[in-house]
Amino acid sequence: MKEFKNISKPYQHAIFWSLTIFGIKILSYMPHFIEWVYARRIYPVIAIVNRWFASFFPFSIGDLVYFWGFSYLIYQVLQLIIQIRHPQQQFLRISSFLLKTVWLFYLSWGLNYFREPLEKSLQLSTEKYTTKELLEVTENLIDRVNVLQLYLAGNDTLAVEIPYSLDNILLKTPEGYRQIEKYIGVKYPVPCIKPSLFSKQISYMSVSGYLNPFTGEAQVNKFYPKVFLPDIASHEVAHQLGFAPENEANFLGYLAAIHHPDLYFNYSGNIDALYYFLVELRRYDPKIYRTYLKKLHKGVLKNFKQAQIFHRKYRFPIDFSSTYDSYLKINNQKSGIRSYNEMVRLVIAYELQQSKIY
């Protein structure tokens, strides 16, 4: 220990960073350990404590933590540029801050990226789906969406408008997870879902919602078209429950929304899933994609149009998707951003499983 203290601080930092990166890499090869020790025993306690504390505040304390963290980091970087005399000391201060942030991220939530795949615990057969299966499930989704749209809007040419406030949508969201808790084997105690304080800013980054890993709060973009918010909130709850991969959060958000007793949630879950299926269909065969698109009610297309208008309105010259793509790939999601669309595989597997059961 004395020998280590005698090593200069730059070398100490290099050692700590090397051990951190090496340790994370080793843990990524231990999904069984992460699943049964961290994800099922340690993380649930951390999550409940974080959500319990955060629930005392009507606003997002996680967003304030983000604001403080980014402000501190920018200040230290500026100091590094200004202080010509002691750059090494300033650099070590920044390195120490980032190292602590990385450790806190993985201990408080990030290790969930390395747990066993969801399909294993749900016993879903996720082999490569056939074209027939893709088409059948897409048709089923179109039928469900059309039926719900007509019932909720009263006319097949009108977009569905959710009559609830954002606060009511967030209050209703946990009910969907109560409906599927036996199936997924996880309960959702102490809900904590809030609108983001930075909704305007994240709109320009095409972000509809996110989980704050340090405080356990699920954040929703309040400017996003309301019809999609029930599914978005359900997606973020999946992250709160420890399901880090985006395809798994998409799938569980879909399940929670379509099993929700509220029909507006059903519509939100189905139309969001349909979007991913149509994207997959367009990649597979643009001609079939156009044929299926014509089967949708005009009101459904208008709801899709709302999302397009939103993204057009908040278009930003800088593309942040490549940064997030790299982040996902670093954290065990080889497909990066395309992993969102991999929920198609899980939905098809689920539909096949349910058809065999019933």
pTM of the full structure: 0.91
Contact between residue 266 and residue 148 where contact means Cβ atoms under 8 Å apart: yes
pLDDT, one tens digit per residue, over 112-140 is: 999 999 999 998 887 788 889 899 999 99
Residue 260 DSSP symbol: S
Higher pLDDT, 95 or 62: 62
319 phi and psi angles, rounded to 5 deg = -90, 115
How open is the CA angle 170-164-58, to the nearest 5 degrees? 40
pLDDT, one tens digit per residue, over 150-161 is: 999 999 999 999
Q: What is the pLDDT averaged over residues 214-242?
A: 97
Q: Distances in Å between the alpha carbon of 40 and those of 108, 114, 288, 293?
A: 13, 13, 43, 42
Q: What is the pLDDT averaged over residues 261-286?
A: 94
Residue with tokens 């699920």: 218
pLDDT band at 65 (very low <50, low <70, confident <90, very high): very high
pLDDT band at 57 (very low <50, low <70, confident <90, very high): very high
Q: Residue 357's pLDDT is what?
A: 46
pLDDT band at 7 (very low <50, low <70, confident <90, very high): low
Q: What is the pLDDT averaged over residues 107-116?
A: 95
Q: Residue 221's pLDDT is what?
A: 97
Q: In the chain, what percentage of residues exceed pLDDT 70?
A: 87
Report the mean per-residue pLDDT for the chain.
88
Q: Residue 358's pLDDT is what?
A: 41
Helix (H), strand (E) at residue 280? helix 263-284
pLDDT band at 323 (very low <50, low <70, confident <90, very high): low
Question: Cβ-count burial of 158 within 10 angstroms (0-12 exposed, 13-18 middle, 19+ buried)?
Answer: middle
Spans of all domains in the chain: 2-114, 118-357
| Dihedral sign for Cα atoms in the order 271, 273, 275, 278 | negative
pLDDT, one tens digit per residue, over 199-208 is: 999 999 889 9
* Among 73-87, 146-160, 167-181, 327-341, the least confident range: 327-341
Q: Residue 71's pLDDT is what?
A: 92
Q: Residue 6's pLDDT is what?
A: 47
Q: Residue 138's pLDDT is what?
A: 94
pLDDT, one tens digit per residue, over 172-201 is: 999 999 999 999 999 999 999 999 999 999
Q: In the chain, what percentage of residues exceed pLDDT 90?
A: 66
Q: Distances in Å between the alpha carbon of 254 and those of 94, 170, 236, 302, 343?
A: 40, 15, 11, 21, 9
Q: Residue 322's pLDDT is what?
A: 62
Contact between residue 211 and residue 253 where contact means Cβ atoms under 8 Å apart: no
pLDDT band at 330 (very low <50, low <70, confident <90, very high): low
